[in-house]
Structure 1
């Protein structure tokens, strides 16, 4: 069945790129509503923005949504990953600024609040998107693939010259609360040299060593270092889940990312939906539901991210 929150939750924070203070409230929504963002600071135009793949405005550093009136919501990937990872299909996300707050750079605070509020089933059956044919897109050395699978799983490979990150690979099924336990606390990361370039370009104005893991060659500059030895690739998997959640329904597929990012994952979704023979929409049976993110979450999972 479809799911939503039992009660609304709010967060206060700062936009990673804008540096602007923002308050965000996530409220329950009726069945078949989907995920929508509302810019409460906009009253001169349509302020509702759908969380859908075809509303994405291509940007290299985050996922930005835009509606027909030109109203945007940036850096949606972490909250979208949290919603998908908790199995929430229906919610209204209201914010009083142009960017979702970065919080600690991961999805953990979103997940913890969602689980504390409670996730409830609704009276309507959920839908799943089953990938039927392999779809692949590339951009230089980067590659992203969706291929048929009876479960939803993500495989990711990254390679950085900075020794603190190096080459990392990870593959995992996202069933049975795996996102909550294994991925949701993994933070965004960057190189100090890239931070300097972004700041010079007027970006990353809200970034600091507490909401991102910053590395410089072999050194980890953020206090406390990594939460996981492979936190970098785990965060790339978190991002991929959030970007794939813009498909509008949970996927039954294997996603493979090799040095891919937000823009390429959106290109992959556009390629998937370009041909109806690539996928099928199915009613989610209890057996299928058990294979999706958000299934079988327990109080112990919440304690891990509290």
Structure 2
């Protein structure tokens, strides 16, 4: 994400599938948006007027098995993390995401179909400078044996995750990546959601995984991968957790300049860490990327190959 300007999509583009938890069909359309719009979800297909919600941490109303966005009237769109990861990972700052069902389609269980849609639509620069949330000091959350933190990082956005599952086919895995459109496309976006066969009945009884199948999930038992095609990566499980974290942290509303570290985490921990950061106004600031030739006297810093300057204004004070 080295562009100094905000971006959006060149053209609208749609994908169609079913929700992994609801099992209901849905069409999701990514639309261009004006500078400083951010990512906004619009739930269509409701009785009465469409409803919209900004993709922000304070719009999260549930994090059980997926990230759900909503408003005072209730949930609007579930399982938003994969499309959010694709938009952030591919460097799209502004888009309107229309969904005509209660849940974003799961597609093949990864973010790759959304990346393909973004590439089909094209990404264009806008006139406004890109803005970032720069982490100034560490913020940590611990819950039982799980922990997560955001800390300063001088080279953009980096994710470092460890997972540890009782299932011997998953076990302990680690992955670290500096997130750029190239690394996201090559290393992260194809990693699929996963689950254990032993948990399926429990999930169904709780109202989850009604649309899950071998077409959109990696399924394991105690001895083998049940999907005929096997894994896409030897460590696909932890790579998917990285994907989820990228999507959940996109709910900062702006790209993060910082390092996210998680041990035995998930949607709930990702959201808790982001919420803790946003609640501590001394732990972050909003900065703008300026083209080097436009840099003037004053306090400027080089971050990730860009010239970064504090963005002072009524909306960030």
TM-score higher than 0.5? yes
CA RMSD across the alignment: 1.4
CA distance in 1, matches of 2:137, 2:47: 43
Aligned to 2:281: 276
Q: Give the C-alpha shift of residue 218 in structure 1.
A: 2.4
What secondary structure sits across from 2:191 in the alignment? coil
Q: Which has the larger radius of gyration?
A: 2
1:233 aligns with 238
Question: What count of residue pairs does the alignment treat as equivalent?
Answer: 291
Alignment of 1:72-91 (within 5 A): 72-91=76-95
**SS of 2:104's equivalent?**
coil
Which contiguous aligned blocks of 4+ residues in structure 1 show a shift greater than 4 angstroms?
Answer: 286-291
Unaligned 5+ runs, structure 1:
292-306
Q: Would the aligned equivalents of 2:89 and 2:180 in 1 still touch at CA under 8 Å?
A: no
Distance in 1 separating the partners of 2:91 and 2:47:
31
Taking the aligned partners of 2:180 and 2:219, their CA distance within structure 1 comes to 30
Shift of the alpha carbon at 1:203?
Answer: 1.3
Identify, as 1 or 2, the structure richer in strand: 2
1:142-189 deviations in Å (ceiling 9; x for gaps): 111101111211000011121211110111111352111110000001
Contact persistence 1:175–1:290 (CA under 8 A): no
Partner residue in 1 for 2:48? 44
Deviates more, 1:254-263 or 1:166-175: 166-175
Matches within 5 A, 1:122-201: 122-151=126-155, 152-175=157-180, 177-201=182-206
Aligned to 1:179, the other structure's residue is in SS state helix
Q: SS of 1:136's equivalent?
A: strand
In the TM superposition, what is the alpha-carbon distance from 1:231 to its structure 2 partner?
A: 0.3
Match for residue 125 of structure 2 among 107, 121, 127: 121
Q: Tell me, yes or no, if the aligned pair for 1:130 and 1:280 is still in contact at 8 Å.
A: yes
Match of 1:300 in 2: none
d(CA) in 2 for partners of 1:285 and 1:109? Answer: 32
State the partner residue of 1:33: 37
Alpha-carbon displacement from aligned partner over 1:71-122 (angstroms, at most 9, x marks no partner): 4210000000000011001111111111000000000010011112210000
TM-score where L is the length of structure 2:
0.89
Which residue of 27, 33, 48 maps to 1:23? Answer: 27
- Residue 270 of structure 1 deviates from its aligned partner by 1.1
Q: Deviations over 1:30-71 (max 9, x none)?
A: 111111111111243661111000100133200000112324
In structure 2, distance between residues paired with 1:160 and 1:187: 16
What's the CA shift for 1:285?
Answer: 3.3
In structure 2, relative to structure 1, the CA distance for the partners of 1:71 and 1:64 (3 Å cut) is closer
Q: Give the conservation status (yes or no) of the 8 Å contact 2:15–2:117.
A: no
Whole-angstrom distance in 2 between the partners of 1:72 and 1:182:
31
Does structure 1 residue 110 correspond to structure 2 residue 114?
yes
Provide Cα deviations, 1:247-305, integer angstroms capped at 9, x if missing partner. 011111110010111111111111101121000110023564757xxxxxxxxxxxxxx
SS in 1 for 2:287: strand
Q: Is 1:63 paired with 2:67?
A: yes
Q: What is the TM-score with the length of structure 1 in the denominator?
A: 0.92
Gaps of 5+ in 2: 292-301, 307-317
